[in-house]
Structure 1
Amino acid sequence: MAEDYAAKMSRKTDAELRDYVDNRYQYREEAVLAALDELARRGTPEPRAAALAEELRISQQDTNRREAAARELVVEQEQTRRIARGQVDPELAEATGPALYSPGTITIFSVLFSMLAGGLLLVLNLRTLRRTGPALLVVAFMIAYMVGGGYLLFWLKQLYGDQYNWLGSFFNLPAVLLYNLFFWPRYIGPQPYRSRSWLGPLLVCGLIMLAFYYFALRFKGAMPVM
């Protein structure tokens, strides 16, 4: 039940009400707003009451959003624990879980298109779960993998020639294994989820591939014949 701040402030002295206003960052916004209203009711309003009230209402909205997100996270964690203990029907839990791209979808996109495509789907999953830190970690891994892996393939080709070109076919494999065996278990875990549709990402990746091949052919056709 929400606390009745108006009744609470009516029992405070003027000095205590001023303390709420002067040290407002130490108290909940609702309490400070109630203190401002009580001071106005007593005929000793705060000179900056209107500006302070607007500032506090904006801050209150941010606080409410953070608290709502924290409550949702607690509910999800508790549901995950209940599923692990067998206290909830897995089919019912799956129907109410967050919509995520499955490990299978991430694997297929990594193989068909690139480890970047699969990694971006994993990042979208983490954003859905409001796990910004792990999402940034996956992005950093993708950048490091592309730079390091590309340099390794270039070095092998410079050293041994075209006989190691076949390694390019397995370029995405280590990344896929890390997505499924490290990032997913560590940052998503066994929580129930609803499978998210892959049609949208498939359309985007298909259009990107078509554009890539189109410009590659245009560039090749524009090159002078030696």
Structure 2
Amino acid sequence: MDREALRRRHRKAATKGISWFARAARRQATAAAEAAADHEAVSLERQRAEQRQTQQRELDALWQRLLRNDPDVVLATLAEAFEDNEAAAAAVGVADDEVSLLVLVPDTAAVPERRPTTTPAGNLSLKKLTKREAADFYKVVVCGHVLVTVKEAFAVAPALAGARVAAVRVTGDDAYGRPRTEVVLAAHFRRAALDGVQWATADSPTIVTDTSDELVIREGATKALGAIDTSRHEDLATLLAAVDIGELLDQP
């Protein structure tokens, strides 16, 4: 707070209309103005202190609700955390100490058709990926987005002990212009299982395989991720039904 600015404002208001030659009156008005300014400053400080205390109590209460895994608070916290993710994600529900997540992964077009290499003579070249190589690269992309989403959920909601996540991709629009979707990976992670992971050296498919205690994928002959039959997994069908994929696609 700028106390001097307060004093100038009060002095200007108090001496307005008093002649410069009425020195005694101006001194009296100035003294009263400075006292009023000091009183206002103390009052403002008290108000701000009360506001800080109120805000801190509100934050403390929200923190305690977060630590109790209050569904409303956890879901709101995760929604805010996921807003800037490269792959759109949504927290669908909280039950006890577990959260259900959906992450919208890119389709196979995210993997380039060629990779850099060198010729026997040492010249730079671009080699067309085999179907198996493309499938492996795509799996890295999908598992990477899944792990980023799970790690962020555990980071911002510290009382969560488990996360159930489904990776979903869009395959086009139906006759009504609504996005068609398919689940390509579903997994369950316990927070404790991520402790000690060598994030800098292990690839994402290895981490997903080794740290998840439930993993559902369907791989083709080239190990390409295929669509999981949600009719055989009621929980996945329920999860998909709970999310507006159109809204996720509209996220910046």
Normalised to the residue count of structure 1, the TM-score between the two structures is 0.32
Report which structure shows greater RCO (CA 8 Å, sep ≥6): 1
Normalised to the residue count of structure 2, the TM-score between the two structures is 0.30
Q: Please tell me whether Structure 1 or Structure 2 has the larger radius of gyration of its CA atoms.
A: 2
**Structure number having the greater strand percentage:** 2
